[in-house]
């Protein structure tokens, strides 16, 4: 069986949102750090300290930046209500999923008492879904439709405030059911 080629950017600085977008759409430099920084400035043009990214400008972009970046390319993200089971999601037309999960802060091997948020892309490539987390060495095969529903269910049932977003093309009525 032929293994599909999967584009996978790895974590650099605090640019997980950038990597998530490029991994989701399977393309190098579909989005750049400059693109996301410009979106931050457009979202808060009069703010001296931009609330949509880290103070020192190394990334750590919020959901507003991701949604604005998606809209530029005619896509949208819809928050998934965790009170529902993921098996209710109509997968027709959905590009993939974006997860926001807590992440430990470390200096070397020392864990700090702080938590940051981390963005992860999940999408189908050919016949299987993959976890395209930029912190992984390689993409992680999740499996078929039943497997991705199980994976998403396990993610959103965690008690650490994980969030799930469905990504779909704008004006795709199939995905809004």
Domains delineated in the chain: 16-170 (3.90.70.40)
Side by side, the strands of the sheet bearing 140-143 are 75-79, 163-169, 96-107, 110-125, 128-131, 140-143
Choosing from 8, 16, 19, 175, which is the catalytic residue? Answer: 16
- Taking alpha carbons only, the member of 10, 58, 55, 9 closest to residue 36 is 58
Are 116 and 103 spatial neighbours (Cβ–Cβ below 8 Å)?
yes
Q: Is 118 a catalytic residue?
A: yes
pLDDT per residue rounded down to tens, the chain (177 residues): 566 789 988 987 888 898 999 999 998 778 898 898 888 888 787 777 777 777 776 778 889 899 999 999 999 999 999 999 999 999 988 999 999 987 766 666 766 555 568 899 999 999 999 999 999 999 999 999 999 999 999 999 887 788 999 999 987 654 444
Choosing from 8, 52, 118, 175, which is the catalytic residue? Answer: 118
pTM: 0.83
Are 100 and 63 spatial neighbours (Cβ–Cβ below 8 Å)?
yes
The residues, ordered by sequence, that sit 6+ positions from 14 with a Cβ below 8 Å of its Cβ are 54, 58, 59, 60, 116
Are 120 and 96 spatial neighbours (Cβ–Cβ below 8 Å)?
no
- Taking alpha carbons only, the member of 30, 7, 21, 159 closest to residue 82 is 159
Q: Is 161 a catalytic residue?
A: no
């Amino acid at each position: 069986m032929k293994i599909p080629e999967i584009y996978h950017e790895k974590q650099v600085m605090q640019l997980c949102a950038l990597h998530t977008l490029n991994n989701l759409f399977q393309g190098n430099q579909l989005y750049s750090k400059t693109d996301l920084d410009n979106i931050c400035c457009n979202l808060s043009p009069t703010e001296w300290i931009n609330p949509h990214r880290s103070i020192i400008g190394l990334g750590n972009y919020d959901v507003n930046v991701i949604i604005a970046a998606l809209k530029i390319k005619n896509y949208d993200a819809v928050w998934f209500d965790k009170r529902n089971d993921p098996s209710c999601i109509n997968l027709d037309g959905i590009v993939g999923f974006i997860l926001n999960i807590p992440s430990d802060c470390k200096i070397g091997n020392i864990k700090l008492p702080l938590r940051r948020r981390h963005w992860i892309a999940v999408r189908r490539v050919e016949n299987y879904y993959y976890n395209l987390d930029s912190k992984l060495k390689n993409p992680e095969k999740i499996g078929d439709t039943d497997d991705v529903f199980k994976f998403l269910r396990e993610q959103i049932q965690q008690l650490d405030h994980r969030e799930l977003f469905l990504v779909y093309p704008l004006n795709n009525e199939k995905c809004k059911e």
